[in-house]
Amino acid sequence: MRHSVDISEADGVRYLHFGSEWVQGAMRIARPWSLELEYTREMMAALLLRKPGRWPRSALLIGLGAGSLAKFLYRHFPDCRITVVEINPQVEFVARQYFRLPDDDQRLDVRIACGADYLQQGSRRFDLILSDGFDAAGRPGMLDTAAFYQSARARLTDSGLFCVNLLREKGFQRSVDRIEAAFLGHCRVFPASPDGNTIVFARGEQAVEVGLSTLQARADELRLRTRLNLRDTVKRLQQSGISDEAPLSF
């Protein structure tokens, strides 16, 4: 897949585009390590679902974009080894030149390959797998197939979490159905964020069960440590029925 890679700037924010006005990534120039786009912050809600500390020790990111998720993990989780799989070499060049992607092969390994092929052909397991890959038309292609989700499950550690960014458009429920089938029902669709993206989490062998007060406490701790504010995410979970008596579980 080869698509044009374009950059725009407005109001102190630099944007990445794949040959259209659709935003594929963003960086606030004054805060290059922060997560500018709401859906990227929502994907980091994975950090609320496991006990803080040594998790995650390894992360696989399918799709580089502007490098926002990779940079956040690199800065705030120094013990985490990050692998990024990106199909377009020009995206890596632009991320390094214009979006401050670190050059550190020991901690941040960028592979130019198809994410679906990478999952199917390897055996290394990861604590966290984040899938956020789209073409210029906003289509995930092979990253939204039964085979891809099955491969993702096979590459998770026992405590691993899989997270995918889905657009609430035609075919959304079929995507959720494929994830549920691949992960044997062990998944959770988060409430849609205001920007229209919906994040789906699924897990490895170890169950997720987190009550509201624990989610709030972990969100507060994460904000103090990284400045990432996930209180709105927790509030939407509360509005969807999550409480200490009815914890978030899957």
Domain boundaries, the chain: 6-249
pLDDT for residue 35 is more than 60: yes
3-state secondary structure of 48: helix
Residue 134 has a pLDDT of 73
Can you tell me the mean pLDDT for 185-192? 96
* Vertex 107 angle, CA 231 and 221, to 5°: 20
Can you tell me the mean pLDDT for 28-35? 96
pLDDT for residue 235 is more than 90: yes
The CA R_g of the chain, rounded to the nearest whole Å, is 17
Choose the catalytic residue: 132, 177, 195, 232: 132
Can you tell me the mean pLDDT for 137-151? 87
Distance CA 91, CA 110 (A): 11
Annotated catalytic residue 144: no
C-alpha 111, offset from chain centre: 17
pLDDT for residue 1 is more than 80: no
Residue 22 has a pLDDT of 83
Tens-place pLDDT, residues 39-67: 999 999 999 999 988 899 999 999 999 99
Can you tell me the mean pLDDT for 148-169? 94
Residue 196 has a pLDDT of 76
Residue 18 DSSP label: S
Please provide the average confidence, as pLDDT, over all residues in the chain: 94
pTM across the whole model: 0.94
Burial class (CB in 10 A: 0-12, 13-18, 19+), 241: exposed
Taking alpha carbons only, the member of 183, 188, 160, 163 closest to residue 248 is 188
CATH fold, domain 6-249, is: Rossmann fold (3.40.50)
Is residue 2 very low, low, confident or very high in pLDDT (cuts 50, 70, 90)?
low
Task: Identify the H or E element spanning 216.
Answer: helix 212-226
Distance CA 208, CA 187 (A): 9
Tens-place pLDDT, residues 69-124: 999 999 999 999 999 999 999 999 999 999 999 999 999 999 999 999 999 998 99
Name the amino acid, one letter, at 56.
Answer: P
Residue 136 has a pLDDT of 55
Task: Identify the H or E element spanning 175.
Answer: helix 172-182
